[in-house]
A and B are shown apart, each in its own frame.
Chain A
Amino acid sequence: MFQFPNNLYTDIRIEDVFETKIHFALGSLEESKIRKYRAAFIRVFDGNRWYYASVSDEDNIQNEIDRLALMAEANSSINENPIVRKFEVNTGKYLSFADKNVSDISKDEKTNLLKSLFPVITASETIKMWHAEYLDSRKVTEFYSSKGAKLVFDTQKAGFAVTLTFSEGDKKLAEKFQRGSSFYDKLLNQENYLKEYIDKCEHFLRHSKPVEPGKYTVILSPIAAGVFAHESFGHKSEADFMVGDETMKKEWAIGNRVGSDILCIMDTGKEFGSGFVPFDDEGTQATATYLIKNGILAGRLHSASTAASLEEGITGNARAMNYTYEPIVRMTTTYILPGDKTKEELFAEVKDGLFVETISHGSGMSTFTIAPTLAYKIKDGKIAEPVNISVIMGSVFETLSLIDGLSDQLELITSVRGGCGKGEQFPLPVGFGGPYVRVKSINVQ
């Protein structure tokens, strides 16, 4: 099919993409489109450097391979290179969505899904501005390598997001109701949930008061806990930050204690949702990787390059945002594993604290942050009055060691819009989640 140059490693990733976007603002149709394209990313490696190019014209792939090969230096022992040795040689077709393909559902049906939500939204007098957006994507990836990989696999997600801006007098609130899944039929019949959510937002709008800044026991909802796991620890598990860094190798030695005994964090590309990637973008099959097990550092995320550098196993975490980018180490679906308390028990043990239910964003370096939207006081074990919080933050490692309670149900979230950013590659679809997570002390502003 392709003429791979001698004495070099070469791989080609061809992406066949189908996407739908339907957007209403205040009930008026703003956008309704289907995007389809095939395009490719080519990598050539000479054992010293990588040479990359993207092409939108499939007929030009061979020319680009040849052009990159001219830039590289022939290496007769390329197949003995530690990185090249790490590459899996997978073959076959792995199509999970061939018979549940979002491209088989008409745009009218998707439009009507959004329209079914409109009466619930327009019934609220406090919603002054709203957008409703349906998005889906199915990508069939073909992967070929000079080592012999010949692979076809697919990923898919569908979802809708309703962005709501509430206003009553001087009180304002911006919130979002969204549902996402790998399967379209999971999005149906959400009107009652939306109504409940709008009622909750209106109560928050009318009764929320600024929080008194300070340190609180905080319970994070599954979505907040998932973002916390992703931002606070997930990024630090991406092994590209450790390459050639002796200090990091010591600090991040497998077996080091990094959190409380009850804490386990997992990353897996095997779960359906926005982090489902049965193979990564260099042809490695997905794995489930414990990042933390019972508070102990248990693993990290790798591409072939980082796995070779650190002499560890590949994990299927080399991912690219689209056909114009090279794969780099990224998360897939990252979550905190559930514990042994019921949700009610978790709350009942808090005399005076805060509950973060929804968030607008999070970040994590040595300090993590989460910007809550809907948040509440906890008084005597019960959720009480709503509070406005700018941001909660803390030292990542201190906070991981302060987790003292986990509920017993796991909830995974498929993001509809946005995703994870790393360097220039944003947004990459990822999944995240967890149980309800209690932290003994978090700084609240």
Chain B
Amino acid sequence: MIREKYVQILKETTVSIVNSKIESIRLKDDSKTSLRLYKEGVIGVVGAIGKYKESELEAQAREALNMNIEYPCQPSCNQSEAVDKRTDFLMPEALLKEAEEFIYELAEAQPDYIFSGKIMLQETGAKISNDVSLDLEYHDRTLVLEILYKERSSANIIDGVFEYSGRKYDRKLVLEEANHLLHAYKNKVDLPQSGIYPVVFAEYRTPVKKLYTDLNGQLFASGASLFSDQLNKQVFSKDFTLYQSLNPEDVYNIPFFDAEGITNADYRIPLIDEGVIKYPYTDKRTAYKYNIKATGSSAAAYDSVPTLDLLNFKIKESEKTLKELLGGEMGIMVLIASGGDFTPNGDYGSPVQLAMLFDGERFIGRLPEIQISSNVYEMYGSGFRGICSDAVLPISNTKFAVMDMKVSTT
């Protein structure tokens, strides 16, 4: 029998803003412990929130083995690594004062707007260790700003969201970035005409949704994925490489190992390499069942068996700047595109509630609500221009994705 412990820690200080003023401060100090026992091809898992008695937890885990949940895989072993990304760029005790001064300066600079939202300092920790010499540990600390803005004269409940997250903080640069966006928001511009435009995504989780649903290892290997019969085939552009990535440079507050303790070289693995589908993403049980590679994509609640889950995708950056990717054309920067989706055959359509005309360096002005549409094979095939190499915003390290899509007014 092998005994494994997985501990997750969250310390969080959150300041809430309502009507451009501080409304509350919330303190969290949460630890959750998972104890797993592996014995003769089955797994028993129990968990505890906060304090617990080791002997009681172990007795419950032994009992959980009787449920006969199959786990015909070897626990991860013989690896020891610790990554600590915490720096003292802002301490919890200083957050309330900093938030007061930040929101005061923002409201002073932008009197036409009402602000609400949260400023959050998160410190996370994760540690997995077992009897077979696995010992992986990760710590991180980030600041997260989610500031909803609304023009005082607007009848919308919100007009947009300014977001920043990172391991550094400079009030002057954050305000510069927010002011740039808020100034541009006031400048209404028209879409010249419906047609094909380079569309720029700051956050590309929505447009890659079809990839993360259909590269799911269970779906892929069972033949139910759109891509099931396209393994090792050139399906997308040669400029398109998609990683499953837990590299701390690509993601915040998520450990470099998955819930089963798997790590990858450089903490990344290419699921699509230069347009060729190489691997679906998998946990150990899925990989075992279908005899495919375990990519280290499992997640687990504190009292759960690790199961297949999407952790983080990253598209490989090109060598071109955003301005070069736009090639002299005006881009359409998507800031809010809520509610769109793919059909089973990969057609994509979405309203864009907030978009800016963008020249590669600056927001020019706010476009009316538009619709974007394409198909997954075009978005990452002939229409894919790339991910920019440069960070064009004052503090955010966002690397924008650019793809040609059909754009029309609503």
Contact B30 A49 (CB under 8 A): no
**B49 touches A (CB below 8 Å):** yes
Q: A245-B150, A246-B152 are in contact. List 8 more A-B contacts (CB 8 A).
A: A35-B303, A128-B224, A210-B343, A248-B155, A366-B156, A388-B347, A390-B342, A445-B371
Please name the residue on chain B nearest to A388 by beta carbon: B343
Q: How far is the CA of A326 from the CA of B12 in the complex (A)?
A: 14
Please name the residue on chain B nearest to A21 by beta carbon: B304
Smallest CB separation, B141 vs chain A (Å): 18
Binding site for B on A (CB under 8 A): 21, 23, 25-26, 28-33, 35, 37, 39, 49-57, 68, 71, 128-129, 165-167, 170-174, 210, 235-236, 240-241, 243-248, 251, 324, 326, 360-371, 388-391, 393, 395, 423-424, 443, 445
What are the residues of chain A within 8 A of B24 when measuring CB–CB?
49-52, 326
What are the residues of chain B within 8 A of A50 when measuring CB–CB?
16, 23-25
**B391 touches A (CB below 8 Å):** no
Smallest CB separation, A51 vs chain B (Å): 6
What are the residues of chain B within 8 A of A248 when measuring CB–CB?
155, 157
Contact B303 A243 (CB under 8 A): no
Q: How far is the CA of A393 from the CA of B339 in the complex (A)?
A: 9
What are the residues of chain B within 8 A of A23 when measuring CB–CB?
307
- A32-B67, A174-B344, A365-B156 known; A393 and B224 CB under 8 Å? no
Q: How far is the CA of A390 from the CA of B16 in the complex (A)?
A: 36
Interface residues on B, range: 35 or more
Smallest CB separation, A300 vs chain B (Å): 12
What are the residues of chain B within 8 A of A51 when measuring CB–CB?
24-26
Q: Which of B76-84, B215-223, B233-241, B251-259 contacts A (4 or more CB under 8 A)?
A: B215-223
The 9 A-B residue pairs whose C-beta atoms are closest, nearest first, are A369-B339, A244-B19, A56-B50, A363-B339, A390-B349, A50-B24, A445-B349, A128-B224, A371-B341
A/B interface sample: 5 pairs, CB < 8 A = A25-B218, A68-B27, A245-B19, A246-B152, A326-B16
Contact B146 A423 (CB under 8 A): yes
Q: How far is the CA of A445 from the CA of B146 in the complex (A)?
A: 31
Contact B369 A367 (CB under 8 A): yes
Which of B47, B70, B219, B285 has the most chain A CB within a 10 Å cutoff?
A: B219
**Total number of residue pairs linking A and B with CB closer than 8 Å:** 177
What are the residues of chain A within 8 A of B371 when measuring CB–CB?
393, 445
**B36 touches A (CB below 8 Å):** no
- A247-B154, A365-B157 known; A389 and B343 CB under 8 Å? yes
Contact with A along B6-35 (1 / 0, CB 8 A): 000000000010111011111110100000
Q: How far is the CA of A49 from the CA of B14 in the complex (A)?
A: 13
- A235-B157, A247-B153, A390-B349 known; A52 and B27 CB under 8 Å? yes
Binding site for A on B (CB under 8 A): 16, 18-20, 22-28, 30, 45, 47, 49-51, 64, 67-70, 114, 117-118, 146, 150, 152-158, 213, 218-219, 222-226, 228, 285, 303-305, 307, 336, 338-345, 347-351, 353, 369, 371, 373, 410
What are the residues of chain B within 8 A of A324 when measuring CB–CB?
28, 30
What are the residues of chain B within 8 A of A68 when measuring CB–CB?
27
What are the residues of chain A within 8 A of B339 when measuring CB–CB?
361-364, 367-371, 391, 393
Q: What is the predominant secondary structure among interface residues of chain A facing chain B?
A: strand
What are the residues of chain A within 8 A of B223 when measuring CB–CB?
128, 167
Q: Contact check: which of A33, A54, A391 meets B349 at CB < 8 Å?
A: A391
Contact B344 A391 (CB under 8 A): no
Please name the residue on chain B nearest to A235 by beta carbon: B157
What are the residues of chain B within 8 A of A165 when measuring CB–CB?
219, 222, 224
Q: How far is the CA of A41 from the CA of B379 in the complex (A)?
A: 46
Smallest CB separation, B8 vs chain A (Å): 13
